[in-house]
């Protein structure tokens, strides 16, 4: 069976986006191998073969890349939300772990004569000085240099982008690079410190008492855009199969303030809940995707409204929390 099907390798398949990508590739009829340090906590994997393995280990990577896969997606990284990336406490791990994964996976693919690997970079590699004005952040792809990301996570992404491009230049590969902007949706981390703003807001609102308040980090006027995971997967697959190597933004252009996001979540919940702005790790002042290049090169860009994605995500997190309460008999 496997011989007749197209094959795909998803590194980071136990993660949020990787889990959704595996499902999508299975719907398309691929034979899929996933690899990760862990299974996905929120949904059983649909991969035909799932390897629990550490991609920092060269031997494990060589064993996993044991054939010429038709498509390879490299999403594994040591990452998290602002509470993980911006405190400075995890910088050495973030840089060492993610760079080692990329060095190993790319080289193993090259040595297996796999020509094309998709790499998930991040909007966190854009220079801080272009993101100080919350109303007019500049995240066009050509604004990346001179480089000045505001986190070591962003610097590692920049290094790895250059690594994939160097293999294109020197070894005739055709790697593809996307810069994701804040991806959210069901089956993502929603507590524990590595969750992103939309999931954190949904959790806080679900758990808030009627008439109570939720805490929002900073003055709430910092801006961001958020992309629903299905559109991220769509853009990822389109880019890998296109003739454009990138780097290109995969994000939403619907920019909101963080307080605006909190208000949207509260409106979706139908609850009476207020907002209290408190000090916390923040990241840049403003960030929005710039989709001119992706429209030009792929003839496609994300189009779903933030509200639609929040509705689906809120409903899922609410179910998860209720399920937990059912198991433990009490909410935290």
46, 48, 54, 141: which one binds ligand NAD (CB under 6 A): 54
| Residue 153 is a catalytic residue | yes
* 37 forms part of the interface with ligand NAD (CB under 6 A): yes
* 284 forms part of the interface with ligand NAD (CB under 6 A): no
Structure tokens at 317: 């997190």
7, 8, 15, 71: which one binds ligand NAD (CB under 6 A): 15
Nearest CB to ligand NAD, comparing residues 76 and 173: 76
Nearest CB to ligand NAD, comparing residues 55 and 248: 55
* 78 forms part of the interface with ligand NAD (CB under 6 A): yes
Residues 6+ apart with CB under 8 A from 214: 201, 204, 205, 208, 262, 266, 273, 274, 275, 276
If one counts every other C-beta atom within 10 angstroms of the C-beta of residue 255, the result is 19
* 12 forms part of the interface with ligand NAD (CB under 6 A): yes
Q: Which of 73, 119, 153, 180 is catalytic?
A: 153
**Alpha-carbon distances, residue 216 vs 213, 275, 276, 282, 331 (angstroms):** 9, 7, 6, 10, 21
* 120 forms part of the interface with ligand NAD (CB under 6 A): yes
Phi, psi of 193 (to 5 degrees): 110, -20
* 247 forms part of the interface with ligand NAD (CB under 6 A): no
Class of residue 39 by CB neighbours under 10 A (exposed 0-12, middle 13-18, buried 19+): middle
SS3 83: helix
Residues 6+ apart with CB under 8 A from 240: 71, 73, 116, 118, 176
* 97 forms part of the interface with ligand NAD (CB under 6 A): yes
- Rg for the chain (alpha carbons), in Å? 20
* 16 forms part of the interface with ligand NAD (CB under 6 A): yes
Nearest distance from C-beta of residue 270 to ligand NAD, angstroms: 27
d(CA 36, CA 76): 7
Nearest distance from C-beta of residue 151 to ligand NAD, angstroms: 11
72, 76, 240, 248: which one binds ligand NAD (CB under 6 A): 76
- Catalytic residue IDs: 153
Which parts of this chain interact with ligand NAD (CB under 6 A)?
12, 14-18, 36-38, 54-56, 75-79, 97, 101, 120, 122, 180, 182-183, 196
């Amino acid at each position: 069976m496997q011989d007749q099907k197209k094959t795909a390798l998803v590194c980071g398949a136990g993660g949020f986006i990787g889990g959704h990508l595996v499902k999508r590739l299975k719907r398309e009829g691929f034979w899929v191998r996933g690899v990760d340090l862990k299974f996905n906590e929120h949904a059983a994997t649909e991969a035909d073969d799932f390897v629990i393995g550490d991609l920092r280990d060269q031997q494990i990577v060589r064993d996993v890349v044991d054939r010429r896969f038709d498509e390879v997606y490299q999403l594994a990284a040591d990452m998290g939300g602002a509470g993980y990336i911006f405190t400075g406490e995890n910088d050495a791990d973030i840089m060492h772990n993610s760079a080692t994964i990329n060095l190993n996976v790319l080289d193993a693919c090259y040595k297996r004569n796999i020509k094309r690997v998709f790499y998930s970079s991040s909007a966190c590699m854009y220079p801080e000085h272009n993101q100080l004005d919350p109303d007019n952040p500049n995240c066009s792809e050509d604004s990346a240099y001179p480089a000045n990301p505001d986190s070591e996570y962003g610097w590692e992404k920049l290094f790895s982008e250059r690594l994939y491009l160097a293999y294109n230049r020197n070894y005739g590969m055709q790697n593809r690079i996307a810069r994701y902007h804040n991806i959210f949706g069901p089956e993502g981390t929603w507590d524990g410190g590595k969750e992103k703003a939309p999931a954190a807001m949904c959790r806080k609102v679900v758990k808030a008492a009627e008439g109570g308040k939720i805490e929002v980090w900073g003055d709430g006027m910092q801006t961001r855009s958020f992309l629903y995971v299905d559109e991220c997967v769509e853009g990822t697959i389109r880019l890998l199969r296109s003739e454009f190597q990138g780097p290109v933004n995969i994000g939403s252009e619907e920019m909101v303030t963080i307080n605006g996001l909190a208000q949207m979540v509260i409106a979706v919940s139908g609850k009476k809940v207020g907002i209290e702005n408190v000090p916390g790790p923040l990241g840049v002042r403003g960030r929005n995707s710039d989709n001119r290049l992706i429209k030009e090169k792929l003839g496609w860009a994300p189009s779903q409204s933030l509200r639609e994605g929040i509705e689906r995500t809120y409903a899922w997190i609410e179910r998860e929390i209720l399920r937990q309460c059912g198991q433990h008999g009490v909410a935290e």
